[in-house]
Chains A and B, each alone.
Chain A
Amino acid sequence: MSKQAKPPKPDELAKSIDYKPPKTNWMETPVEFKPGTYCYGARPKYLEAVEMPNPREWSPADEDWKLPENWKEIVLEGMQDRLGKYRSYKLFMDICVRCGACADKCHFFIGSGDPKNMPVLRAELMRSVYRKYFTTGGKFFGKAAGARELTEDVIKEWWYYYYQCTECRRCSVFCPYGIDTAEITIMGRELTNLLGLQTDWIGGPVANCYHKGNHLGLEPHTIQSNIEMMCDDIEEITGIRIEPTFNRKGAEILFVTPSGDLFGLPGVYTCMGYLMLFHELGLDYTWSTYASEGGNFGFFTSNEMAKKLHYKIYAEAKRLGVKWILGGECGHMWRLVHQYLNTWWGPPDFLEVPKSPITGTVFEHAKSTKMVHVAEFTADLIRHGKIKLDPSRNDHLKVTFHDSCNTSRGMGIFEEPRYVLKHVVNHFYEMPENTIREKTFCCGSGSGLNAGENMELRMRGGFPRANAVRYVNEKYGVNMLANICAIDRAALTTLMQYWVPEVDVCGLHELVGNALVMTGEKKRTMDLRLEPLPGVEEEEEEE
């Protein structure tokens, strides 16, 4: 693999953004594989591990992609099959009027100016082929009807741009017909996967998740030891020893979170927050080393792969005999739990309607899937006054909240995290209204794009988000970007270092953990990052 391309300096990158389209018509403008803007091709071992078709060594920069002999047939049959399975796909191929309302809503367009990143054009890349092979007008009138031949160059273009869309759905908020480019990107990825054109960054986690239970490939003993290390830190901070359980049968609740919370910073701080909260509540819950992934990179591959990877959650809940499932902070995990999981593997009638053992609240809105979001769970606790909080421990932080794409536009969880935030911090500031809630901007690295080799692309895609953070940083002195997504925690950290280095990134439950007053704890002098709490430090020095 070639050396990773470094992105240009932030001010150069910002200056380079130009929204003026090129002179040549898009159909005549070939795709350019510029280092730093695409991911590596998947190594064959990853595809072989999950029996995906056409594994081989290949690189997107190569002239020859070593496509299988009958690649065209495979793609066209794949399209035909999916046009008959997904109404969204068929309808969104047919009804776009190219009004252009979506054009400047995509973070990749705003950060790159590349017209093929306008959602409408991203979709036209596919529609033009659809017209040629599946509509009468396209067959007869060809280019005049907006149709074009399917060629190897088209496949390259698809690959480049469908792995340059984070399926964030922001365009679909503004589209008068609700056309969702994510639905088209999902198909673009399914089709390219039929040809073995996976990215390495998605292929690896998929293979890991299938065999080892989680994207990071953490084996059972490692999961346990990672969590125990967090417990060591918690003991140092609070004086309280937490003894979480793993794969325990008969627990009331199974807790499932993205594996990003188990490894790497600042994800583990969020995880420490969960551990402290559940301990303080005396919650009868268990971790699972088998269902050790809430996220699902399979979704960035194909529907079938996504379904395979998300099998484990209900299966494990059944094996352990829990009553219901609590889910951690994660973006695409919750899109899938909310909109897909039950359809794939449910309804899980062996579980009970989730009921908080602490407040008695019955989570009616999750009565079919039996899965509750941890922000819903915690908001309910706070509402009922069941936990003691000292928000002043977060007083050194001026916090803003990043709504994750998936939980915003594929679930609608806006108030719960804000309610929690407002009770655990004293300084909370919203970013401008056109950049939050349903209009929130992607971190630029979702849907499997958070690799290292496409850094320029990621910094461009995250530009609108960073731009809004910089606004509140300058206006209110915001220095912490809270969120409820594991990929955000990793991706926004890099994004902030690049665009707004004054701002750090954390999960919601890290702030909860800081503020949580635990029974029998010692006086807190450190936050969950083992950094001294500013006010307390001075006090101690005086003493």
Chain B
Amino acid sequence: MGALFSFGAVVVLLLIPAIGAGALKMHSLFGVVIPYLAVVIFLGGLIYRVVGWGKVPVPFKIPTTCGQQKSLPWIKHSKLESPATSWEVAARMFLEVVLFRSLFRNLRTEKTPADRVVYASSKWLWLGGIAFHYSFLIVFIRHLRFFKHPTPKFVSIIESFDGFLQIGSPHLFVTGLVLFGAAFYLFLRRVFVPAVRYISLPADYFPLFLIMAIAGTGMLMRYFWKVDIIKVKELTLGLATFNPTVPDGIGVIFYIHLFLVSALFAYFPFSKLVHLGGVFLSPTRNLANNSRMVYHPNPWNYPVKVHTYEEYEEEFRDKMIAVGIPVEKEPPKEEEEKAETEETEGKE
């Protein structure tokens, strides 16, 4: 259901530029206005979201400790799993963001025919995630050649690695295929793993379809329905230098590709994709496990009504005196005698 809905939405997104830029020739709209708008929404939205989270206080220091705390000097402290200093936190965050360390821990729970449960290592999701995110990153970096002239050195180096297979002309970029394949794997997983299918929302399928469409149109354009790359670069450099020009004769496939990318940019900050920014702010990962060493203030800590010792003693004074527990306020004489009598009686 959710998958069909999202697929339909991406088809609509494909048709909009096909009609608008293809049939109606609105090249300035699709080549300049919409991309600019999308980037503004992306940057503004991302800042809005991150600042929005950042403004909310972190009242308690609640790291999830996944290793030995720093305590006695002769006990080996797990610096990465239970970081006690900012540097150790930075190292933990680095591994989390760059290597998806928590996901690497993933296990599969299975019930045996004897009704026991067993846990097996399960790295497929981690592998799929790594393949998806890193191929996306490289594809993104490769595209910088369209926005900077001359092409930066590191972009050329990455391109040469990416095209190492040297198949076809232009050379096949591996990352484009991997990106498409990884997104497709993540989609299949959503469809075929029952638990994952059960939790999936349209908002989970939509970005996968959108990204597959982006990778697909990109590869179509590069290998099959080739467009005039010089003119494309003229347009993109114009965008980058805030001197937009719209050359004639760029194939409609380019406008479709660009529109889908614009859609992704605009959608990004307001969707689950914003985890890109959010992961850095996660209080269970980015705080040090040193809360007994370093005081952590809560900005909204407010006074609360408590039950004081005085109130407690008031209620139990006689009973405390009777069994010899020291009290702050001795009772008046009479009561003391009474208490003593009770005590003697109790003993008898």
Contacts and interface: CB of A to CB of B under 8 A. Distances in A.
Contacts of A176: 96, 100, 102-103, 129, 279
Interface stretch (B144-152, B189-197, B258-266): B189-197
Nearest to A111: B117
Interface in B291-325: 291-298, 300-301, 304-309, 312-313, 315-316, 319-320, 322-323, 325
- Point out which of A118, A174, A220, A342 has the most chain B C-beta atoms below 10 A from its C-beta: A220
B284 A94 contact: no
B281 A87 contact: yes
A25 to B, nearest CB: 8
Given A95-B275, A338-B292, A88 B68 contact: no
B315 A211 contact: yes
Interface in B2-19: 5
A368 B325 contact: no
Given A83-B56, A319-B309, A101 B103 contact: yes
Given A17-B111, A99-B125, A434-B119, A413 B69 contact: yes
Contacts of A463: 117
A249 B326 contact: yes
Interface in A386-437: 408-416, 419, 432, 434-435, 437
Contacts of B331: none
B196 A100 contact: yes
Interface in B211-238: none
A6 interface: no
Contacts of B320: 220-221, 247, 289
A178 B115 CA distance: 31
A247 B328 CA distance: 10
A288 B308 CA distance: 14
Which of B111, B194, B282 has the most CB atoms of chain A within a 10 A radius of its CB? B282
B42 to A, nearest CB: 16
Interface stretch (B163-171, B198-206, B248-256): B198-206
Contacts of B107: 104-105, 174, 434, 439
A136 B48 CA distance: 14
B117 A97 contact: no
B161 interface: no
A379 B296 CA distance: 27
A438 B66 contact: yes
Say whether chain A's binding surface is mostly helix, strand, loop, or mixed.
helix
A99 B274 CA distance: 14
Interface stretch (B32-40, B74-82, B172-180): B74-82
B245 interface: no
B300 A103 contact: no
A189 interface: no
Contacts of A68: none
Nearest to B194: A21
A290 B65 contact: no
A308 B305 contact: yes
Interface residues of B, number: 97
Interface stretch (A37-45, A343-351, A443-451): A343-351
DSSP class of B's interface residues: helix, strand, loop or mixed?
loop
B65 A411 contact: yes
B49 interface: yes
Interface in B77-122: 78, 81-82, 96, 100, 102-103, 105-109, 111, 115-117, 119
**Which residue, of B69, B74, B298, has the highest number of chain A Cβ atoms within 10 A?**
B69
A183 to B, nearest CB: 7
Contacts of A415: 68, 75-76
Given A172-B284, A178-B64, A366-B293, A100 B78 contact: no
Interface string A105-118: 10000100001001
A343 B5 contact: no
A33 interface: no
A240 interface: no
B285 A438 contact: no
B59 interface: yes
Given A85-B56, A339-B61, A26 B282 contact: no
Contacts of B284: 88, 169, 172, 178-180, 183
User: Which of B74, B108, B291 has the most CB atoms of chain A within a 10 A radius of its CB?
Assistant: B291
Given A146-B203, A176-B129, A221 B322 contact: yes
The CB with the most chain A CB atoms within 10 A, among B96, B319, B325, is that of B325
B246 interface: no
B102 A175 contact: yes
A315 to B, nearest CB: 6
B134 interface: no
A339 B117 CA distance: 33
A237 B68 CA distance: 36
Given A86-B59, A177-B279, A104 B295 contact: no
Contacts of A135: 270
Contacts of B300: 85
B67 interface: yes
A108 B295 CA distance: 35
Contact of A409 (B66, B270, B279): B66
Contacts of A522: none
Contacts of B202: 144-146
Nearest to B6: A144
A525 interface: no
A59 interface: no
Contacts of A319: 309, 328
A328 B282 CA distance: 31
Contact of B74 (A100, A248, A383): A383
A412 B115 CA distance: 32
Contacts of A383: 72, 74
A475 to B, nearest CB: 13
B62 interface: yes
B74 to A, nearest CB: 6
Nearest to A18: B111
A368 B295 contact: yes
B70 A365 contact: yes
15 contacts: A19-B111, A83-B56, A94-B272, A98-B196, A100-B193, A101-B106, A104-B109, A178-B279, A178-B284, A220-B319, A221-B325, A346-B295, A367-B292, A414-B67, A437-B67
For the complex of A and B, 5 pairs with smallest distance between CB atoms: A412-B69, A412-B65, A95-B278, A178-B284, A14-B115
Interface of A: 11, 14-15, 17, 19-21, 25-26, 51, 83-88, 90-91, 94-101, 103-105, 110, 115, 118, 120-121, 124, 135-137, 144-146, 169, 172-180, 183, 210-213, 219-221, 224-225, 246-249, 289-290, 303-304, 307-308, 311-312, 315-316, 319, 337-340, 342-344, 346-347, 361, 363-369, 371, 376, 379-380, 383, 408-416, 419, 432, 434-435, 437-439, 463-464, 467, 470-471
Interface of B: 1, 5, 49, 52-54, 56-62, 64-72, 74-76, 78, 81-82, 96, 100, 102-103, 105-109, 111, 115-117, 119, 125, 129, 193-204, 270-272, 274-275, 278-279, 281-285, 289-298, 300-301, 304-309, 312-313, 315-316, 319-320, 322-323, 325-326, 328
Given A311-B304, A412-B81, 8 more contacts: A121-B199, A136-B270, A174-B103, A176-B129, A247-B326, A365-B71, A412-B65, A439-B107
